[in-house]
Structure 1
Amino acid sequence: MGTLFSAQSIDKDFRYLIGDLDNLSSSECRFYRLSEIVLKNRGKCIQRKQHHDVGQSVRRPGQFNSNELDDGCNHSNKEAVYHNIQGSGCSLDTNGEENIMDRCATDVNVQACRNCEVESLYKVLPLNKPLYTTQTYVQWYSSITYEIAFSKCRTSKRTIYFQPINSFPDFIQNFELRIGDHIYSLFGLIRTFAEYFFWGMDVQVLPSINIQELGWNITTRVHPKTGKQQYLVSDFYSKLRSVMPKNGYCIMGITWTDLYPKEELNFVLGEASGAHKSGVFSFGRFEPKSYNPEMSSDIFEIDEKILWRLLKVMSHEVCHIFGLNHCEYFLCAMNESTSLHEAMSQPLFLCPVCLRKLQTVCKFDLIQRFQILETFLSQLNRSWYIPEIARSIEWLQKCLCFFKEIDVENSEGYAE
C-alpha cells in the first residue's frame, strides 16, 4: 500500500501553506521550506489515528508516549500544553505545573533526524485535520488582497500607533530603564520593540486620552470576584479607529484597567479587530480565574513578569490586526491560549507560516530583522535579566546560525 502523501502533493500543499517564494533570496526560501514538516507530520498523525482506530489502546488525557514526541507527531489536548521553544528546546507542560520532558536541540536522536533543522528551531503541532480548515498563507492573502492593493496606492499608511487610555499609576509614568546609550520610558520600550518586531513599519506612541472627557460610551462592569472595574474590549474598536492619524496603518490601545470579551467570560489580556485596524490590551493586575483575595494584590512596580507580559500581548494582538489568525502549525507567538499562564509560556516569535504573512505586509529582510531583534534584546537583558528574554535571544541566535550555515554551503557550492 502506498503512502498517503506523495512528494508532489506535499509540494502543492506547501505552496498553499506558505505561498510563492520565487521573489525571495535562497536563504529565505530555505528558511521557509522548514514548514514542510507540517505537511509530512500531517500524514504521520493521520496514519497514527487510523492505526489507533482499528483496535489499538487509547491514551488517557494528559498521557504521552515519548516515541511520539521524538517523531514529531504530538497529540495535544487542553490538559497538556507544549511551550518554551526558545533556548534549550521544547518542554511539555501538564496542567501548567509539572515539566515532564525537556528536549534539547543537541540531542543525538534529533541530530540524527532528517528534520533536525526544524526540530532545533520550531516544534511542530499535530495537524490531523484538513489543511483548508486552518489559516494558510493563501487563505490569509485572499482575505487581505484588497488591503494590500489599497496600500500600494496609499504607501504613506505605514505607521503603527499606540494609544494610552486614561491614567496609569505613578510607577508606570516614572519608569525608566537604560539600555545601551538610551534611557527608555515604559511606553518607549514597547514602541522600540514593536519597531523591531514589525520591522519596516514606523511605530509611534500618541498622547494619553481620557475616554470620559471624549464621551466614549464604553461598557463597564465590576467583576464579582475581584471587585475591579473592567472594560468591554470590543467597544474600543471603532472609537480607537476614529482617533487614528491619517497615516496610521493601525492603532492599539493600552489600558491599565482590566478587560473582558463578553458578559459570560471573565477576562482577556487583549483583543484586536483586523476590520477596524484597531485593538486594545491591558497589563494590569491579575486574572480573575486565579484570583485569591488573601494572596492577590495590585502591582506596585514593573517587574520582569510584567515586562514580558507587555511584549508578548502587544506583539500577539498587533499581529491579529495584520490579519493573522491563531496558529495551529507550530509552537508560535500566535498560538491560542486559555489562561494567563498558557499565554505567557508561549514563544515570543512567529513560526515560518505566520512570519511569511507578516513579511508580506512589512516587507522586511528576514536576516536583518533577526539581527536587530537579537541585538536589542541582548542589550535589554544586559540591563535587566529576564529568563524568557534570555531564551528568546538563544532562539534568535540559532536562527542566525542557521542562515550562516546556509551561506557557508552556498559559498562552498560556488567554489566547486
Structure 2
Amino acid sequence: MSPSCPHRHLQLDVSSHAAEAGFQRLPLAKRQAATTPAGRAGTEDAVAEHARLEALFPGPLVLPGDALAVDPKEPPQSLRSWIQDNMRNPVTQRRKTIYVVPAPQVGPAVSKTVSSWTVPSPSRAASLKGKCEAPDVELVRQYLEAFYYPLPVRLLPKEVRLVPWTGGNAAGRSKKQQDGPQYIGLQVGGIVTRITTRRCPDGAFGRQLRLSNILDAALDALPDDAYALVMLVAHDTYEDEHDDFCCGLAYGGSRIAVVSFARYHPLLDEAAGVDRDHAWPFAHCAAFVERLCRGAAAAGSRKKRKVDNSQVTTAAQPLADIIKKTLEAGARSDGDLSALWLSRVARTVAHEVGHCFCLTHCRYYACSMQSTTCVAEDLRQPPYLCPVCLAKLTRAVRDVSKGAFDETRFLIERYTTLARFCKQWERAAMFAGYRCWLEKRIDALQGGLPAERDLGNQELF
C-alpha cells in the first residue's frame, strides 16, 4: 500500500459534498427504527445500543459523482417496508437454493471473433505486471455460500456457451458495424437465446452483450428449486443504448441476476479512475475524501474548504484498527491481482443477488447494497450488509430455520463462515479488511452473550 498516505484521519459520516448535493442522512433514531419490524424507534436505551453498534457501520461517503449525490432523494427501504413489499419472494424449504451460472464458454463457430471481445483494448489498458487470472466460478460460489449462509449455493449443472445465432433475423454482421455479428446465441442446456451485441462506446472492449437478453436466458434456466440464479459473464455488458457499460443487473421479482466481470479487470483501473490505495476499507481516509470534494468544487471556487472535524476521528476506533491490521496483513494494491479481481466480483455478485431478496439500494450506511455510478465508486463501498439490510436478510432466512431461531447465533455463524473464506484471500485488501471487520463483529456479539450460554453443536438450520 502506498506509504504516501497513512490514512491517519477517518471520515465516519457523509462528506462535505453531501449537503451541496442535497443529501441529508436520516438521524440516529430513524436509522434504529428502520431495523425494527414495526418501523418505530425503541426506548432511549435501544437507540443508545444502536449507536454503539454503529461504531463498525460508518455513514455513506456521498462523494462527487456518487449515486447518492446524483440522486439524493432516492427513498430508503426500512425493514418494515421490506416486509410489506408484495413483490418479495419468500425463502421456503422447497425453494431456497441459489444457483451460480459459470461464464459461457465460447463455441468454436464464433471463437475467432467473440473470444477477442473479452480482452481489454491496448488503448484503454494500462501496463500491468504480474499474472492476473479471471475469477474462478467455484470461488465465487463459495463466497456466496458464506455471504448467504445457511442457504445452499450450487453451480448450474448445464452446459453454457456462446454459439452463432441462426434463428429469425440472423443478419450476420451488423449493417452499420462491420466489426462483429449483431446477434449471437447464448445456449444454456438445450435452449438458445438471441443476444444483441454492439460496439463498445468507449472502446475498452471490442463489443458488448445486452444484459436484458442475458437475463431472458437466465429466466429460462431458473430451476424449480431455485430461490435465485446469478449468471456470470466474461464479456462487457450494457443495459440500454444510453449506457457506456453496466456491470450487473437483477430482476429481483423474477429472482435472476447477471454480473459481468470485464470492467473489474485491474488492467482498466487507470482508465476508470480507480485509486486502488483508497478502495474499501481505505476509502474512509479523510484526506482522500476531502481531496475529491475539493477537486469537484474547484471549478466554482478555488477557496480551500475547511474539513468538518465533527465527522473525522483520529481516536482509537474500530475502523482505524481494521485499516491498521489490513496494512499489516501485507495486502498490497499491486500484489495478487487475481485475488484483487476476485474480491471485486464477489462483492458485486452478492449485491445483485441481494436484489433477488428484494433488497433495494441502501442510503442508511456505507453498505454492500449501495447504488453506484462507476467502478471507482463501486470499489469504495464495503462488502458487508449494514444493520438495516442485514435485518432483512436475517428475516428472510429465519423462515427456513429448524425450531426456534436464535438470531445472535445465526449472525455469529454467518460471520464466522465469511471470515473463514476471507482468510484464504487476504492478499486482497478487501478480503483482509473484511476478515478483520468480521472478527470485531463476532467479538461484539459473543461479548453480549450470557457466560453460561452454550452455542455448542446444535443444529440451527
Same fold (TM over 0.5): yes
- Asked if the contact 2:208/2:238 (under 8 Å) is kept, the reply is yes
CA drift at 1:314:
0.8
Structure 1 residue aligned with 2:161 = 210
Structure with the larger helix share: 1
| Partner residue of 1:19 out of 32, 36, 39 | 36
The answer on whether the counterparts of 1:266 and 1:289 sit within 8 Å (CA) in structure 2 is: no
**Would you say the 8 A contact 1:14–1:36 is kept in 2?**
no
Q: Which of the pair has the greater relative contact order for Cα pairs under 8 Å at 6+ separation?
A: 2
State how far apart, in whole Å, the 1-side matches of 2:382 and 2:104 are.
Answer: 30
> For the structure 1 residues 33 and 343, does the alpha-carbon distance in structure 2 shift closer, same or farther, using more than 3 Å as the test?
farther
Q: Deviation at 1:136? A: 0.9
Give 1:131 deviation, angstroms: 11
Is 1:326 paired with 2:361?
Answer: yes
Displacement of 1:302 after TM fit?
6.2
Alpha carbons 1:348, 1:392 under 8 Å: kept = yes
**How far 1:408 sits from its partner (Å)?**
5.9
- CA shift in 2, pair 1:289/1:164, >3 Å: closer
Cα-to-partner distance string for 1:295-338 (whole Å, 9 max, x where unaligned): xxxxxx96122111121111111101111111100111111111
Structure 1 counterpart of 2:438, one-letter code: L
Summarize deviations over 1:9-63 as a string: whole Å, max 9, x none: 987x568512339xxxxxxx99x967986xxxxxxxxxxxxxxxxxxxxxxxxxx
Which residue number corresponds to residue 281 of structure 1? Answer: 259
| Structure 1 counterpart SS, 2:416 | helix
- Please name the residue that 2:98 is paired with: 160
Structure 2 residue aligned with 1:187, among 129, 137, 145? 137
Query: CA 1:33 to 1:239, structure 2 compared with 1: closer, same or farther past 3 Å?
Result: farther
Aligned match of 2:82: 140
The count of residues paired between Structure 1 and Structure 2 equals: 289
- Listed one character per residue, the Cα deviations across residues 104-149 of structure 1 (whole Å, up to 9, x for unaligned) are xxxxxxxxxxx4x33431113499999993111111111147633x
Shift of 1:192: 1.2
The 1-side partners of 2:76 and 2:428 are apart by: 33
**Structure 2 vs 1, CA of residues 223 and 346 (structure 1 numbering), >3 Å: closer, same or farther?**
same
Separation in 2, partners of 1:326, 1:280? 17
For residues 73 and 242 of structure 2, the distance between their equivalents in structure 1, rounded to whole angstroms, comes to 32
The CA RMSD measured in Å over matched residues stands at 3.8
Tell me which amino acid in the other structure corresponds to 1:358. L
Q: Corresponding residue for 1:261?
A: 239
Aligned-partner Cα distance in 2 for 1:291–1:391: 23
Q: Secondary structure at the match of 1:374?
A: helix
DSSP 3-state at the match of 2:449: helix
Verify the 8 A CA contact 2:98 2:229 in the aligned structure 1.
yes
The structure 2 residue matched to 1:366, chosen from 411, 416, 422, is 411
- The normalised TM-score by structure 2 is 0.55
Closer/same/farther in 2, CA of residues 146 and 164 from structure 1, 3 Å limit: closer
Query: Could you say if the C-alpha distance between residues 167 and 18 of structure 1 is closer, same or farther in structure 2, counting changes exceeding 3 Å?
Result: same
8 Å Cα contact 1:16-1:138 kept in structure 2:
no
Q: Alignment partner of 2:146: what SS?
A: helix
Find the aligned partners of 2:413 and 2:154 in 1 and give their Cα distance. 21
Q: Which runs of 5+ in 2 are unaligned?
A: 1-26, 63-67, 107-114, 119-134, 163-184, 273-335, 399-406, 454-461
* 1:236 aligns to 2:194 (yes or no): no
Distance 2:451 2:77 in 1: 33
Q: Which amino acid aligns with 1:233?
A: L
- Alignment pair present for 1:341 and 2:373: no
Q: Distance in 2 between the 1:325 and 1:36 partners?
A: 26
Encode CA deviations 1:141-164: one digit per residue, 9 max, x unaligned: 11147633xx5xx52101101112
Q: How far is the alpha carbon of 1:200 from its aligned partner? A: 2.0
| SS across alignment from 1:189 | helix
The one-letter code of the counterpart of 1:216 is T
* 1:242 CA drift (Å): 1.3
Q: Percent identity?
A: 25
Offset at residue 391 of structure 1 (A): 0.7
Deviations 1:312-369 (A, max 9, x none): 1111111011111111001111111111111012111100100011111123711111
Alpha carbons of 1:259 and 1:242: their partners in 2 closer, same or farther (altered >3 Å)? same
Instruction: Please say if residues 140 and 342 of structure 2, whose CA atoms lie closer than 8 Å, have aligned partners that are also in contact.
Output: no
Indicate conservation of the 8 Å contact 1:144/1:323, yes or no: no
| Cα contact 2:264–2:341 (8 A) shared by 1 | no
Q: Distance in 1 between matches of 2:264 and 2:153?
A: 28
CA change 1:402–1:132 in 2 (3 A) is same
The alpha-carbon distance between structure 1 residues 395 and 246, as it changes in their structure 2 partners (threshold 3 A), is same
User: Would you say the 8 A contact 2:37–2:83 is kept in 1?
Assistant: no
Q: After the TM superposition, which residues 71-220 of structure 1 pair with which residues of structure 2 at under 5 Å, given as runs?
A: 115=51, 117-125=52-60, 133-144=75-86, 147-148=89-90, 151=91, 155-167=93-105, 186-206=136-156, 207-211=158-162, 212=185, 213=187, 214-220=191-197
AA matched with 1:396: L
Contact residue 10 and residue 36 of structure 1 kept, 8 A: no
Asked if 2 retains the 8 angstrom alpha-carbon contact of 1:272 and 1:318, the reply is yes
TM, length-normalised to structure 1: 0.61
Q: In the TM superposition, what whole-angstrom CA distance separates every residue of 1:272-317 from its partner, at most 9, and x where no partner exists?
A: 1112210100112568997859xxxxxxx96122111121111111
2:103 and 2:231 in contact (8 A); partners too: yes
The 3 A distance-change label for structure 1 pair 310 and 133 is closer
Task: State the partner residue of 1:405.
Answer: 447
Deviations 1:157-176 (A, max 9, x none): 0110111242278xx9xxxx
5+ residue gaps, structure 1, are: 1-8, 22-28, 38-114, 173-184, 294-300, 412-416
Q: Give distance in 1, aligned partners of 2:215 and 2:153.
A: 19
